[in-house]
């Protein structure tokens, strides 16, 4: 399950080597994404796609905002 984290915690996790995943549509990702973020749209979050991530590193998922 997901643990909600704040911006400061995200920065800390990135510094610690976390993988960052943007789940928005491709256009949104292409325009701007967090540094180093990979693109994995929510509707493609199948096990096969999830396997592209390194299971040994934390994963931070983000969307557009909190609404």
Q: Do residues 20 and 42 make contact, with C-beta atoms less than 8 angstroms apart?
A: no
Which position among 9, 17, 54, 57 is part of the footprint of other proteins (CB under 8 A)? 9
For residue 48, CA distances in Å to 19, 35, 51 come to: 17, 24, 5
Shortest Cβ distance from residue 52 to other proteins (Å)?
Answer: 10
Q: Do residues 54 and 19 make contact, with C-beta atoms less than 8 angstroms apart?
A: yes
Shortest Cβ distance from residue 56 to other proteins (Å)?
Answer: 13
Residues at the contact surface with other proteins, assessed by CB under 8 A: 1-7, 9-11, 13, 18, 22-37, 39, 41-48, 58-67
């Amino acid at each position: 399950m997901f643990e909600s984290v704040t911006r400061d915690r995200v920065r800390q996790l990135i510094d610690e080597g976390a993988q960052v995943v943007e789940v928005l549509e491709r256009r949104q990702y292409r325009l701007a994404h967090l540094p180093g973020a990979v693109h994995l749209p929510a509707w493609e979050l199948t096990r096969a796609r999830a396997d592209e991530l390194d299971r040994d590193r934390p994963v931070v998922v983000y969307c557009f905002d909190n609404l």
